[in-house]
Amino acid sequence: MTSENSFAVLSIISGLNWLLLILFPTCLLVRRLTLYGTVALLSLCYFLLMWKTNYLFVTQGLSSYQAYKTVLGIDNLVLAGWAHYLAFDLLVGLYINKISEANSLSRWLVVPIMVTTYFLGPIGFLAFLVVKTVTTNIKSFFHEL
């Protein structure tokens, strides 16, 4: 399988998992599938790609912008970086779902945040932090009345 095909397969698997997280946010099976299935698979892919390219145990040489540019020119390392990105974004999605449920955040607020996290990672997480903080403060304000 080529790197381009692998990229597409990992993207599809991740995208389908995001769809499940959005449609069934409180389903324990979906959460377990996400963590122990998709995130574990992406992590394994990352490990194998790093091992294959002999970058698994590199502890130096990635401390400059130029070094990163060089590394990102290597096909398998680009794919490894993509697997890394997909895995961590899914972990953030799991966190958002769990904390949203615990704080009884409206799904009307959470779904756009999940979509933003899927496409823009940290921007979605930042939106979640803002929404959670604001809604929690509003709830506590009215609770005290």
CA distances (Å), 126 to each of 30, 84, 120, 137, in order? 24, 20, 10, 17
The tokens of 123 are what? 């921007």
Taking residues 48-64, what's their average pLDDT?
73
Torsion of CA 123, 129, 94, 140, to 10 degrees: -160
Using the predicted structure, report yes or no on whether residue 60 has a pLDDT greater than 60: no
How buried is residue 84: exposed, middle or buried, by Cβ count under 10 Å (0-12/13-18/19+)? Answer: middle
Average pLDDT, the chain: 89
Using CB atoms within 10 A of its CB, is residue 99 exposed (0-12), middle (13-18) or buried (19+)? Answer: middle
pLDDT of residue 41 exceeding 70, the answer is yes
pLDDT value, residue 118 = 95
The Cα–Cα gap between 137 and 2 comes to: 50
Task: Please tell me the pTM assigned to this model.
Answer: 0.86
Quote the pLDDT of residue 68: 74
The band of 61, judged by pLDDT with boundaries at 50, 70 and 90, is low
Task: Count structural domains, the chain.
Answer: 1
Q: Report the range out of 4-8, 62-66, 68-72 with the highest average pLDDT.
A: 4-8
Q: In this structure, what are the phi and psi dihedrals at residue 72, rounded to the nearest 5 degrees?
A: -75, 0
Residue 29 has what pLDDT?
A: 97
Give the residue from 83, 19, 20 showing the smallest Cα distance to 46: 83
pLDDT of residue 143: 65
For 37-53, what is the mean pLDDT?
93
Tokens coding 14:
């991740």
- Residue 72, pLDDT > 80, answer no
Residue 99: give the domain boundaries: 3-144
Tell me how far apart the alpha carbons of residues 68 and 40 are, in angstroms, rounded to a whole number: 25
Angstrom distance (rounded) from CA 40 to CA 87: 8
* Percentage, residues of the chain above pLDDT 90: 68
